[in-house]
Amino acid sequence: MTTADQLIIFDTTLRDGEQSPGASMTKDEKLRIARALEKLRVDVIEAGFPIASHGDFEAVKAVAETIKDSTICGLARALEKDIVCAGEALKAANSGRIHTFIATSPIHMEKKLRMSPEQVLEQAVWAVRKARDYCDDVEFSPEDAGRSEIDFLCRVLEAVIDAGARTLNIPDTVGYAMPHQFGNLIAQLRERIPNADKAVFSVHCHNDLGLAVANSLAAVRNGARQVECTINGLGERAGNAALEEVAMAVRTRQDLFGCDTRLDTTQIVACSRLVSGITGFPVQPNKAIVGANAFAHESGIHQDGVLKHRETYEIMRAQDVGWTQNRMVLGKHSGRNAFRVRLQELGIALDSEEELNAAFSRFKDLADKKHEIFDEDLQALVTDATLDASNERVKLLSLRVCSETGETPHAEVVLSVDGAERRGSDGGSGPVDATFRAIESIINSGTTLKLYSVNAITSGTDAQGEVTVRLEQGGHIVNGAGADTDIVIASAKAYLNAINKITQPRERAHPQIGDV
């Protein structure tokens, strides 16, 4: 494949994806996702926004130190402190990139930045030059390009190319564009900017009108050669373009796009599950490529057609995106090595021997309770094991629930809070309600429950239930996840996971808010 026909995949799950309400991740979680993205052969990983908080800085630094096969990118506003901080965080990267941005739409310049267009242009050029002091690979984004005036955009982009930007990323920050319009914008920019051939055109589309993937693909049809996207379409508000959808669209319709990615698409499902498990954002069953029903045929006519000739109703092969047959992978007599090998086959890398041991001990417990263990069970179990290994203030020691026809369900819970054993009990309208109340009788968190959902990981009544809990406290939202064959225990785990996240210190700035 020549450079001209390679579509660069820039994954921003760890940066824009993390801006989804409740999707914040720890450094270790980011590292696990970064490893999975490297295995997926993503070209660029935007690991975070280093100036946003000490945690973000440390996470970008750790990803830069660990990942060697993908370029690692850090976001920076067009401000000296942001650029210096991003440069510092990326020091150890094999291949590092600074992504600097400033808004160019009239509404953002006037109402948010309170800067004139000339000041914005000058600041953009200054920022790109400054970023070039730290690395050769500099990307520039005119924020809210989708609502910017094209003449002004052309002037800014021409000037930043001269200043040393190698990638020009055109964001539809508020998801306002229509595909024909956005495609046309890319074509116009490429045509009108005299030095356009000196940079790669990239796009970054938000999904407010459900058009992020369509807009990204329209841009690719018009010469964009980098797409910014996220696993499962995670991201600010309605999210970003879903990586799996963009990648499979260009691969499946080579006849239309004339370019392809370097991705090992067989890693897609593993990445999707990992991100969903870590963030607590479940994937809807009918989601393209990675939803549980994406390759399931319900109607008899379809089933018959697929059995006779797969391509009658399938345009992609399930195994090409990493779906495996639901099969019993391991049994209760399987050893630690077989367990480790199967995790490797699933694209799951654990950080340490302790994490492997914790996961293996959970596997043994599960194998005692559940007859057949599937790949999906292993995914959930590993997420659970790493949750446990992390530094949690509140841990579940035991839970006893009584539920009887005609009686009020009652729960008794024993927690470890900062190392001290605490007991609580309460009744509720159901066993889960009673459990949450019993937990609250101990910790009194002052949070509000915003969402509670249960999903069976596999089929059968012995399936593990995967629970997501969303809590809110003073405008701050987190998601917690937990899995167990007992859904009340899974619910308690998910609740405590959310509690542990919400009580972590927060100092994070928001990338699209700020002095510039």
Residues contributing to the site for ligand KIV (CB under 6 A): 16, 101, 141, 143, 169, 171, 173, 204, 206, 511
**Phi-psi region at 170: left, alpha or beta (left = phi > 0; alpha = psi -120 to 50):** beta
121: closest CA among 76, 85, 148, 159? Answer: 159
Query: Does position 46 bind Zn ion by CB under 5 A?
Result: no
Nearer to ligand KIV, 202 or 491 (CB): 202
What pairs with residue 111 in β-bridges? Answer: none
Distance CA 113, CA 119 (A): 10
Written in H, E and C, the secondary structure of 213-227 is HHHHHHHHHCCCCEE
Distance CA 477, CA 21 (A): 6
Nearer to ligand KIV, 169 or 435 (CB): 169
277 binds, among Zn ion, ligand KIV, none (CB under 5 to 8 A by kind): none
Nearer to ligand KIV, 143 or 466 (CB): 143
Q: CB of 298 within 8 A of CB of 49? A: no
Q: Which stretch binds Zn ion (CB under 5 A): 15-23, 273-281, 375-383, 435-443?
A: 15-23
Nearest approach, Cβ of 206 to ligand KIV (angstroms)? 6
Q: CB of 109 within 8 A of CB of 86? A: no
Nearer to ligand KIV, 210 or 335 (CB): 210
Kindly report the backbone phi and psi dihedral angles of residue 485, in degrees, each rounded to the nearest multiple of 5, phi listed first.
-70, -20
Nearer to ligand KIV, 246 or 463 (CB): 246
273 binds, among ligand KIV, Zn ion, none (CB under 5 to 8 A by kind): none
Nearer to ligand KIV, 144 or 355 (CB): 144
Nearest approach, Cβ of 511 to Zn ion (angstroms)? 8
Distance CA 373, CA 377 (A): 6
Q: CB of 463 within 8 A of CB of 455? A: no
Q: H helices of 280-374, where? A: 300-308, 336-345, 353-369
Query: Does position 137 bind Zn ion by CB under 5 A?
Result: no
Among 10, 11, 16, 490, binds Zn ion (CB under 5 A): 16
Q: What binding mask, one character per residue, do residues 165-204 give for Zn ion by CB under 5 A, x or -?
A: ----------------------------------------
**Between 353-369 and 336-345, two packed helices, what is the crossing angle to 10 degrees?**
100
493 binds, among Zn ion, ligand KIV, none (CB under 5 to 8 A by kind): none
30 binds, among Zn ion, ligand KIV, none (CB under 5 to 8 A by kind): none
Q: Which residues bind Zn ion (CB under 5 A)?
A: 16
